[in-house]
């Protein structure tokens, strides 16, 4: 029998009206802004003083070089650490786009010098030295070659990071450092090559973009930690809740008026830093699993997966913590749109945040949860989920991969047949679908949902 919604814990209050608006810019407006920023130098070169004497291929080569430079600088602005970026398209997609854009940038950087017909004073086989229209040599040649070598290094070390020694954070720092080096080398190359970048409209644009990139870096690595120092958290509890899985809860270090935790939307995540140093570069993204209506504690479900998370169980109560957030797009519709959740592993964290918030807000939208677990003998959060199913308008399908002999529910992997049987049988296009779990599971479930005629615009994913 469904229980009364009035049974919710007192510390949660209905707070829908108080939800913060961290939705971020729409995907299309971001694409448009990206194209404008990356193609602006071409427009500025065209309306400035076009170098009419140049052959068309040289113009194309310059266009490729300028577009690559703009794209390198814009990558600093369009990283997943800004809410206006990650708020709608999500940090996973931001990283995927970053990788794809990187291939294009690399292609442009490597190809463009071979297209020029005639750099001055250079007699490489692919140049026609009889028709000098571009001044290259000395600094511009050295910086161009330097940018080439750095680009090659960045691509090679990003292709299969797991094969490299050292932690993810070390790699990330080196990657960002190389990105800064690359931007400076290309800037020096562009300014000394005395082409379009020597003219005021384009050079002014480079100075603006370089300034914006520097401000972004300062914001992320200096201003944010500095602000975080003023809102420290401490570990309140750390409990083992399943196989290599932990529930971490934080509260604000100071009591009194400053006890309220960061406001967020259900399903969002934060970069979490544990330890005394707000300026430490080691932070990790984790989804909040508590209700967004909780004002005094904030919780995460964390699975041991590597050098940082493997030690999560050794963290002691009272350890200092800092949060950078909220970020992310896996948030419920403001209207009571029915939702289907397909979760595996720690993907249950953001789902819990949704369900706990619905409970607190007395939200009765129709919900289906398909929860893939390894074994039925230890299902993280099962008791709580079953209790919520009695109160919310929630149907739960546990899908067990390695069931014990007394398990009678769904079993196996999340394939098309199984999902088809667990999904709502009618009006599937009217539901919102949240797919949360390991990257491979998310990719495969998304493809299955598409085969089952779920419109891609109704699917939100996070891993
Ligand atoms: C948006 C988002 C939400 C997440 N939510 C949760 C959650 O609720 N619970 C949970 O257990 N895990 C979550 N993760 C995964 C979690 O961040 C990684 O498992 C964790 O950072 C691994 O760190 P490690 O040092 O233990 O392992 P490593 O071996 O160092 O990392 C394993 C992989 O995790 C990713 N990763 C590591 N550090 C970072 C970082 N600083 N920034 C971005 N990616 C990183 C990289 O892809 C890396 O290859 C989330 C990841 C993302 C992107």
What distance in Å separates the CA atoms of residue 83 and residue 85, rounded to the nearest whole number? Answer: 5
Distance (angstroms) between ligand 1 centre and the Cα of 162 equals 13
What distance in Å separates the CA atoms of residue 22 and residue 211, rounded to the nearest whole number? Answer: 26
From atom 26 of ligand 1, which residue's Cα is the shortest distance away?
A: 306
Mean pLDDT of the region 386-403: 94
Write down the pLDDT at residue 66. Answer: 93
Distance (angstroms) between ligand 1 centre and the Cα of 306 equals 8
Listed residues 304, 327, 350: the one ending a domain: 327
91 CB near ligand 1 (under 6 Å)? yes
Length of the chain: 463
Sign of CA dihedral 375, 378, 380, 381: positive
pLDDT tens sequence across 327-366: 888 999 988 999 999 999 889 999 999 999 999 999 999 9
Identify whether residues 144 and 61 lie together within a single domain. yes
pLDDT tens sequence across 10-42: 343 444 444 554 566 677 888 899 999 999 999
Identify whether residues 222 and 287 lie together within a single domain. no
Mean pLDDT of the region 75-81: 81
Identify whether residues 178 and 203 lie together within a single domain. yes
Q: Is residue 149 part of a domain?
A: yes
pLDDT tens sequence across 99-155: 889 999 999 998 888 887 755 544 444 444 444 445 556 778 889 889 989 998 888
Name the pLDDT band for 325 (thresholds 50, 70, 90).
confident
Q: For residue 433, what is the domain's CATH number?
A: 3.40.50.80
Listed residues 203, 226, 249: the one ending a domain: 226
Listed residues 327, 362, 390: the one ending a domain: 327
Range of the domain at 453: 339-462
> 342 preceded by cis ω (within 30°)?
no
Write down the pLDDT at residue 392. Answer: 95
Write down the pLDDT at residue 50. Answer: 65
192 CB near ligand 1 (under 6 Å)? no
pLDDT tens sequence across 285-313: 999 999 999 989 999 999 998 888 999 99
Which ligand 1 atom is the nearest neighbour of the CA of 285?
17
284 CB near ligand 1 (under 6 Å)? yes
299 CB near ligand 1 (under 6 Å)? no
Q: Is residue 1 part of a domain?
A: no
Contact 183, 73 (CB under 8 A): yes
Distance (angstroms) between ligand 1 centre and the Cα of 284 equals 6
The total number of structural domains in the chain stands at 3
Which ligand 1 atom is the nearest neighbour of the CA of 92?
53
From atom 20 of ligand 1, which residue's Cα is the shortest distance away?
A: 284
303 CB near ligand 1 (under 6 Å)? yes
CB under 8 Å, gap of 24 or more: what pairs does 312-316 form?
A: 312/238, 312/246, 312/248, 313/238, 313/240, 313/246, 315/235, 315/238, 315/248, 315/274, 316/235, 316/238
Write down the pLDDT at residue 20. Answer: 52
Q: Is residue 333 part of a domain?
A: no
Strand-pair partners of 119: 134
Identify whether residues 122 and 101 lie together within a single domain. yes
Q: Is residue 89 part of a domain?
A: yes
Q: Where are the alpha helices (DSSP H) in 362-425?
A: 382-391, 416-422
269 CB near ligand 1 (under 6 Å)? yes
Q: Report the b/e string of 1-38 with b at 16+ CB within 10 A.
A: eeeebeebeeebeebeeebeebebbeeeebeebbeebb
Identify whether residues 123 and 204 lie together within a single domain. yes
Beta-carbon contacts of 83 under 8 Å, excluding residues fewer than 6 positions away, are 22, 24, 326, 327
Identify whether residues 392 and 243 lie together within a single domain. no
Distance (angstroms) between ligand 1 centre and the Cα of 27 equals 24
Name the pLDDT band for 83 (thresholds 50, 70, 90).
confident
At 77, list the tokens: 């602005």
Identify whether residues 136 and 193 lie together within a single domain. yes
Contact 380, 352 (CB under 8 A): no
Identify whether residues 215 and 241 lie together within a single domain. no
Identify whether residues 395 and 308 lie together within a single domain. no
90 CB near ligand 1 (under 6 Å)? no
Identify whether residues 320 and 419 lie together within a single domain. no
For residue 402, pLDDT over 80 is answered with yes
Q: Is residue 10 part of a domain?
A: no
Write down the pLDDT at residue 35. Answer: 94
Which ligand 1 atom is the nearest neighbour of the CA of 304?
26
Q: Report the b/e string of 316-337 with b at 16+ CB within 10 A.
A: eeebbbbbbbbbbbbbbeeeee
286 CB near ligand 1 (under 6 Å)? yes
Identify whether residues 319 and 354 lie together within a single domain. no
What distance in Å separates the CA atoms of residue 308 and residue 312, rounded to the nearest whole number? Answer: 7
For residue 244, pLDDT over 90 is answered with no
Write down the pLDDT at residue 51. Answer: 66
Write down the pLDDT at residue 406. Answer: 82
346 CB near ligand 1 (under 6 Å)? yes
Query: Percent of the chain at pLDDT above 90?
Result: 49
Distance (angstroms) between ligand 1 centre and the Cα of 267 equals 16
């Amino acid at each position: 029998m469904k229980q009364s919604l009035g049974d919710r814990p007192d510390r949660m209050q209905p707070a829908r009206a108080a939800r913060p608006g961290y939705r971020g810019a729409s995907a299309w407006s971001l694409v448009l802004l990206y194209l404008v920023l990356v193609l602006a130098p071409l427009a500025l070169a065209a309306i400035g003083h076009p170098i009419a004497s140049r052959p068309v291929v040289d113009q194309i080569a310059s266009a490729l070089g300028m577009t690559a430079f703009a794209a390198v600088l814009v990558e600093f602005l369009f990283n997943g650490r800004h809410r206006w970026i990650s708020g709608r398209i999500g940090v996973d997609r931001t990283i995927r786009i970053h990788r794809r854009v990187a291939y294009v940038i690399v292609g442009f950087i490597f190809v463009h010098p071979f297209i020029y017909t005639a750099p001055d004073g250079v007699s490489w086989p692919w140049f026609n030295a009889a028709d000098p229209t571009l001044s290259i040599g000395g600094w511009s040649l050295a910086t161009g070659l330097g940018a080439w070598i750095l680009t090659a290094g960045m691509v090679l070390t990003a292709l299969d990071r797991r094969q490299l020694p050292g932690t993810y954070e070390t790699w990330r720092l080196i990657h960002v450092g190389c990105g800064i080096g690359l931007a400076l080398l290309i800037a020096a190359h562009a300014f000394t090559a005395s082409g379009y970048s020597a003219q005021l409209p384009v050079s002014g644009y480079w100075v603006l973009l370089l300034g914006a990139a520097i401000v972004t870096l300062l914001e992320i690595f200096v201003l944010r930690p500095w602000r975080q120092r003023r809102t420290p958290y401490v570990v309140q509890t750390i409990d083992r809740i399943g196989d290599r899985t932990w529930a971490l809860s934080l509260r604000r270090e100071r009591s009194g008026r400053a006890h309220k935790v960061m406001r967020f939307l259900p399903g969002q995540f934060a970069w979490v830093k544990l330890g005394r140093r707000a300026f430490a570069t080691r932070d990790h993204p984790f989804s909040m699993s508590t209700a967004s209506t909780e004002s005094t504690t904030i919780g995460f479900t964390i699975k041991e997966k590597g050098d940082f998370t493997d030690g999560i169980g050794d963290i002691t109560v009272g350890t200092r913590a800092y949060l950078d957030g909220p970020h992310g797009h896996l948030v419920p519709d403001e209207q009571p749109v029915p939702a289907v959740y397909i979760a595996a592993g720690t993907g249950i964290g953001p789902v819990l945040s949704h369900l706990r918030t619905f409970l607190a807000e007395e939200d009765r939208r129709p919900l289906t949860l398909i929860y893939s677990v390894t074994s039925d003998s230890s299902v993280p959060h099962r008791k709580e989920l079953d209790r919520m199913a009695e109160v919310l308008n929630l149907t739960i399908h546990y899908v067990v991969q390695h069931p014990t002999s007394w398990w009678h529910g769904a079993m196996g992997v999340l394939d098309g047949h199984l999902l088809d049987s667990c999904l709502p049988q009618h009006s599937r296009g009217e539901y919102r679908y949240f797919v949360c779990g390991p990257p491979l599971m998310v990719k495969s479930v998304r493809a299955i949902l598409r085969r089952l005629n779920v419109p891609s615009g109704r699917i939100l994913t996070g891993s």
